[in-house]
Amino acid sequence: MKCTLPFSSFTNPFRSENYLYQCNQQIQRLFKIGKINDARKMFDEMPQRDAVSWNSMISGYCHNGLLNDARALFDVFQGKNIRTWTSMLSGYAKNGRFCDAVDVFEAMPEKNVVSYNAMLSGYLGIGDFVSARKVFDEMGERNVASWNAMINGYVKGGRMREAHEMFDVMPDRNEVSYTIMISGCVGVGEFEEAWRWFVDMRRRGEVRPDQKMFLVALSVVIGLDNVVMLANLVTLAMKMGYSEDVVVVTAILNAFTQIGKMDMALKFFENFLEKNEYSWTTMISALSQCGRLEDAVALYRQVPEQTVETQTAMMTAYAQSGRIVEARQVFNDIRNPNVLSWNALLAGYMHNGMIEEAEELFKQMPTRNVASWAAMISGLMHNAQSVESLELMAQMHRLGNIPSDSSFTSALLACANIGDIEVGRQIHSLSFKAGCQYNPYVGNGLITMYAKCKNLEDDAEALGLTRSDIICSPSIPAGHSYNFRLEDAVRVFQQMHNRDVVSWTAVISAYVQGGRGEIALELFLDMFYHGIKPNELTVTSLLSATGSLGAKKLGQQLHVLTFKLGMDSQLFIGNALSAMYFKCGSLDGIQVFDEMLERDIVTWNALLTGCAQNGLGKEAVSYFEKLTAEGFVPNQITFLVLLCACGHAGLVDEGLAYFNSMRQKYGIVPVLNHYTAVVDLLGRGGRLLEAESLIKDMPMQPDTVTWDALLAACRNHHDTSLGQRVAERLFHMGTKESGTYVLLSNIYASQGMWDNVRKVRETMLDREVNKEPGFSWIQIKNTLYSFLSGNKTCDHVDEIYPMLREFCMSFQAEGYIPETKFVLRDVEEEQKQNELLYHSEKIAVVFGILNTPNGSPVEIMKNLRICGDCHTFMKFLSKATHRKIIIRDGNRFHHFSEGFCSCGDYW
């Protein structure tokens, strides 16, 4: 390579004043255009160098990520100055080698504001706010960049309260300061607050809005959906000379389209001083997206000279409207389609489910970019071809292409769809190497993948993936637990620098799905603390957690929140609210249903489920008839819930009629769950032989749940012979469900067959089957109290047990006879009665009576099915105390009132 500035051009290079300056400038230019080797050669051939020469090389290497080369020069340069140290420090910090950055920072002989700012940015980049604040407080001198770095770090970390506090005390602010704050508010959905910041900035007159500020302000008015504010903003932009700024003008046009003011957008478009391909493209796209395809076509035909951009916009409009033939025709008319045009048609095929056509087009593409691969990977995933999506991801990586953030996200969701934790971990590892693990979309995909993967049946080899295809993490040991994957999801969340509402919702949903609703609720409060506004999915997940916990009061607070957030009229929020109330044993779920303006089959299924769970079998039948009368078509879930409702209300003939109508009237083929529900229906009705016959004639193999339903019926109807046969079949199937053994023990104990009870217990020990202990819990004010069956040393024992014994003696005088057949031990009758006294639901309900106002309902949650003796006891107790007692056991709710239960003693 011949240098642009040959040394021979200088008569005396060592005396030339411009020599070093010109060489240093050339080195910097070479780095800027990517000719790094040429820059190094020039540096090595320079007979004379100064500090600028060394700093230019070190800074250039750092800027291009060549940190080891930079460090080699840094170590041998004897004339280091503060710029040398700061260049090395910034290089390490910006490229993620933060430990090295800290070492350099601590070794610096002197520090200036630039080096401090570099450390600030580094600490904030990894989310270490404590260390960043410590560095900030230690700075002897701060400039506006220091303050901006801190508030930007707080904003990106979702810590809006700290950002507000720091902004308020800034001595000087510039347009960057305001842009950061307004953007932060937009990021968390606080559009009104963002507009107040913008108005305050204008009122103070501290800074003049620049291009970036206008773009952010336009996103604010889009979020507020306020055309008046938009008009005011447009007037301001025109006054400040942005009428010819193509970026601002196009953004204004886009804002009009985003808030649905297409006529105003068209008028603004017509008044442009000069139309260009960006404005034509924006209008064509906007018209098609709001359903005005013909208007888009008419506008397209007005374009004076078609460009690849306008043709691609029209092609996309056709494809998104399902008119793929016209889209292909436009594509064929493009003289020299670029990769964006190919990608648009590819996405159009995928959008319309035309996978084979998309694959063929993908093969024909003359060139592909990361967006081409991303369109294919995403399209396959969204079209239920997750395995194929992951195969394509592996192929992309084998060809040496680095996946985009979109590809990583789609691949992670594909792993979640098929439950493949192993490949998900490989993709996680690759995302680290690609440096995009902290991208919010990739982070959200990682959380979702770890939260949803529940089995290890699919592995990398099944997809043709090997460790050479995708860089693997260490293999996952067999038996890797779901809870550990939940921890993985949380770890990803904690490492994310920018947590948005999607990130928070994903991790909250992960805890809900993992049965950790109480932690999900704590996270929700933490989310509010960080200034993140929940969306519909966040609230839906929380309502599900609240229902599972039976925390009705908390559910009511969430109900109020839906009004404040303007979500109360949304369909799936209404569905979630109705389900939540029913799960808490509250018939307010019916009121929510009645007030819903819009309903779908999910709404009706939630209502029928609530009726079934709360002993309203006849009401469920009535609602089903109303459902069909209003034109809704029942699905498999509808019938499953309806059959369960009939079974728990003694409506045997009605349930059988509905079962038969599934295929005959609605063309729905019953599956195993429906047959199990009918077996339960017949068994509860005492028609045990019919139930057994149905199991034998089922078109599919019955599972343990089906046989368990018949075994429970044998227990209820004291059929020892059939019960023993059913239990033996279950044992032969290898069941380890403790309930099966307990049911058989109950059958034997009710007949006084104590030797058989002992043998069942020995079998449980041999097979390492543990009986789940019974416990109950009750919420009083904001505290949850739990009680374990048989625990005679619990808190408040001195208050509870004397009253419990008093109630028992009083009820016996009125006809209550303890049902000692539910005690599975061969002991004296008095001891059996004593054991029944210490069942967890009895302890919990008495505690509730002692600690709630007279006449108020007592709501109890229990993990196991309530026993017959406790059921009878609760009827007497509700009559004696004139209180409503609500107990949710492992199956459903029992509403006791004035001596009666909602289940009609048919549970």
What digits encode the pLDDT tens for the residues 183-216?
888 877 778 888 888 888 888 877 788 888 888 8
Portion of the chain with pLDDT greater than 70, in percent = 86
pLDDT tens per residue, range 592-613: 999 988 888 989 999 999 998 8
Say what the pLDDT of residue 657 is: 94
Structural domain spans, the chain: 522-596, 773-899
pLDDT of residue 490: 67
- Note the pLDDT tens digit of each residue in 339-354: 999 999 998 998 888 8
| pLDDT band for position 495 (cuts 50, 70, 90) | low
> Which tokens go with 716?
């209820």
pLDDT at position 50: 85
Q: Is the pLDDT of residue 472 over 60?
A: no
Residue 219 has pLDDT above 80, yes or no: yes
> Confidence class of residue 398 from pLDDT cuts 50, 70 and 90?
confident
Tell me how far apart the alpha carbons of residues 899 and 905 are, in angstroms, rounded to a whole number: 11
User: DSSP string spanning 225-280?
Assistant: T-HHHHHHHHHHHHHTT-TT-HHHHHHHHHHHHHTT-HHHHHHHHHT-SS--HHHH
**Distances, alpha carbon 302 to alpha carbons 281, 284, 331, 539, 654, in Å:** 12, 11, 18, 47, 66
> Is it the case that residue 502 has pLDDT exceeding 90?
no
Contacts of 712 (CB under 8 A, 6+ apart): 680, 683, 743
The residue among 890 and 319 whose pLDDT is bigger is 319
Judge contact between 692 and 686, C-beta under 8 A: no
Give the per-residue pLDDT at 438.
60
pLDDT band at residue 469 using 50, 70 and 90 as cut-offs = very low
Using 50, 70 and 90 to split pLDDT, how confident is the model at 361? very high
Residues 6+ apart with CB under 8 A from 163: 151, 154, 155, 180, 181, 184
In this predicted model, what pLDDT tens digit does every residue of 417-427 receive, in sequence order?
888 888 888 88
pLDDT for 771: 65
Q: Look at residue 485 and tell me whether its pLDDT is greater than 80.
A: no
pLDDT of 796 over the 50 cut: yes
- pLDDT, averaged across the chain: 80
**Mean pLDDT, residues 250-266:** 81
Q: What's this model's pTM, rounded to 2 decimal places?
A: 0.56
Average pLDDT value for residue range 738-750: 70
- Residue 636 has a CB neighbour count (10 Å cut-off) of 16
Q: What per-residue confidence (pLDDT) applies to 482?
A: 39
Condensed to tens digits (0 to 9), the pLDDT of residues 377-390 reads 988 988 888 889 88
Of 885 and 513, more confident: 885
- Cα torsion 177, 180, 185, 186 to 10°: value is 140
pLDDT exceeds 70 at position 416: yes
As a whole number of angstroms, the longest Cα–Cα distance in the chain is 124
Which residues on adjacent β-strands are paired with residue 887?
Answer: 860, 894
Q: Is 773 left (phi over 0), alpha (psi -120 to 50) or beta?
A: beta
What digits encode the pLDDT tens for the residues 108-121? 888 788 877 877 77
Question: Which DSSP category does 856 fall into?
Answer: -
Taking only Cα atoms into account, the Rg of the chain, rounded to an integer number of angstroms, comes to 35
Q: What are phi and psi of 471, to 5 degrees?
A: -60, 120
Give the tokens for residue 312: 């691609």
The contacts of residue 685 (CB under 8 Å, 6+ apart) are 650, 652
The string of pLDDT tens digits covering residues 618-627 is: 899 999 999 9
pLDDT digits (tens, 9 = 90+) for 804-822: 888 888 888 888 877 655 4
> CB-hemisphere CA count at 13 Å for 869?
21
Q: What is the pLDDT of residues 691-723, one digit of tens each?
A: 999 998 988 888 888 888 888 888 778 788 888
pLDDT band at 464 (very low <50, low <70, confident <90, very high): very low
Per the listing, tokens 């990106």 go with 156
pLDDT value of position 615: 82
pLDDT at 794: 67
Question: What is the rounded CA–CA span in Å between residue 880 and residue 875?
Answer: 9
Asked if 558 contacts 583 with a C-beta cutoff of 8 angstroms, the reply is no
- The pLDDT of residue 465: 30
pLDDT of residue 847: 92
Sequence-distant (6+) residues with CB within 8 A of 473 are 425, 426, 428, 429
Band (pLDDT 50/70/90 cuts) for residue 455 is very low
